[in-house]
Amino acid sequence: MANTLLKVAGLKVAYGGIKAVKGIDLEVNEGELISLIGSNGAGKTTTMKAITGSLAMEAGDVEYMGKSIKGKGAWDLVKQGLAMVPEGRGVFTRMSITENLQMGAYVRKDKAGIAQDIERMFGIFPRLKERKDQLAGTMSGGEQQMLAMARALMSQPKVLLLDEPSMGLSPIMVDKIFEVVRDVSAQGVTILLVEQNASRALQIADRGYVMDSGEIIMSGDAKQMLTDPKVRAAYLGE
């Protein structure tokens, strides 16, 4: 039996009278890379925000490692091993790259381990090493996305939530970001990826969920979904 790390059950989210998420269920098992795809406004980002407590749930529950995390704050979740890279990156613009990475490790006390992990991040993202003293706010969008991912990894998460990591990036940078997501997954980090680039997301995922108008309308093996005519027509532009 697969060990379920993250379980969303009957999740409903409404704001301003609009039902954005209408009672969805999804599961992420240990070691999996799960892609949640769907068109703009489908409710994907709202789902991520509800999981991490930055949006209140109207109904339902979210369990992490078998326990409800409903109402828990981001700080609490990071301490428990659940980290999120939000849409729009959210780097500390007035801090250097190195300082951003140190902030990512704020829940840790092992100084030597933190220094080691900063070097490890520089190995994964050589571009960050080249610019380690540069202010994050002066970097390109793609570089900021790399930094946001590296910062989240500094907390040594068991589960990493990625919200639209390729949005607004150049094709070369999109390639790099997907390569890193795949590598991080191969290192044993469990990942829930929300992504508008459905084709790329399904190519690297184990399983996929399709969301439309606040509901999960399909789920299954990611490779099979890639060849499904309905998915291809609606989300892969074919």
Query: Domain of 174: which CATH number?
Result: 3.40.50.300
Q: How many separate domains does the chain show?
A: 2
**For residue range 112-153, what is the model confidence (pLDDT) as tens digits?**
999 999 999 999 999 999 999 999 999 998 899 999 999 999
Backbone angles phi, psi at 119, to 5 degrees: -65, -35
Q: Is residue 46 part of a domain?
A: yes
Backbone angles phi, psi at 180, to 5 degrees: -65, -40
Q: Name the token pair of 133.
A: 């003293």
Q: Is residue 195 part of a domain?
A: yes
Q: Is residue 49 part of a domain?
A: yes
Same domain, 47 and 142: no
Look at residue 89 and tell me whether its pLDDT is greater than 80. Answer: no
**For residue range 183-222, what is the model confidence (pLDDT) as tens digits?**
999 999 999 999 988 999 999 999 999 999 999 999 999 9
Domain end position, chosen among 138, 154, 170: 154
Same domain, 150 and 161: no
pLDDT of residue 34: 98
Same domain, 12 and 119: no
Contacts of 183 (CB under 8 A, 6+ apart): 124
**For residue range 16-51, what is the model confidence (pLDDT) as tens digits?**
888 999 999 999 999 999 999 998 888 999 999 999
Share of the chain above pLDDT 70, in %: 99
Confidence of residue 15 (pLDDT cuts 50, 70, 90): confident
Same domain, 59 and 165: yes
Domain end position, chosen among 154, 171, 189: 154
Same domain, 161 and 75: yes
pLDDT of residue 1: 56
pLDDT of residue 41: 84
Look at residue 234 and tell me whether its pLDDT is greater than 90. Answer: no
Q: Is residue 61 part of a domain?
A: yes
Average pLDDT over residues 155-173: 92
Task: Name the residue range of residue 115's domain.
Answer: 91-154
Q: Is residue 86 part of a domain?
A: no
Look at residue 238 and tell me whether its pLDDT is greater than 60. Answer: no
Average pLDDT over residues 94-123: 94
Same domain, 130 and 221: no
Helix, strand or coil, per DSSP, at residue 95: coil
pLDDT of residue 206: 97
**For residue range 117-126, what is the model confidence (pLDDT) as tens digits?**
999 999 999 9
Same domain, 98 and 45: no
Same domain, 136 and 221: no
Q: Do the beta carbons of residue 197 and residue 174 sit within 8 Å? A: yes
pLDDT of residue 237: 64
Same domain, 16 and 45: yes
Domain end position, chosen among 154, 172, 188: 154
Same domain, 62 and 126: no
Q: What pTM was estimated for this model as a whole?
A: 0.93
Same domain, 65 and 115: no
pLDDT of residue 175: 92
Which neighbouring-strand residues pair with 161? 84, 192
Same domain, 171 and 75: yes
**Amino acid (1-letter code) at residue 97:** I
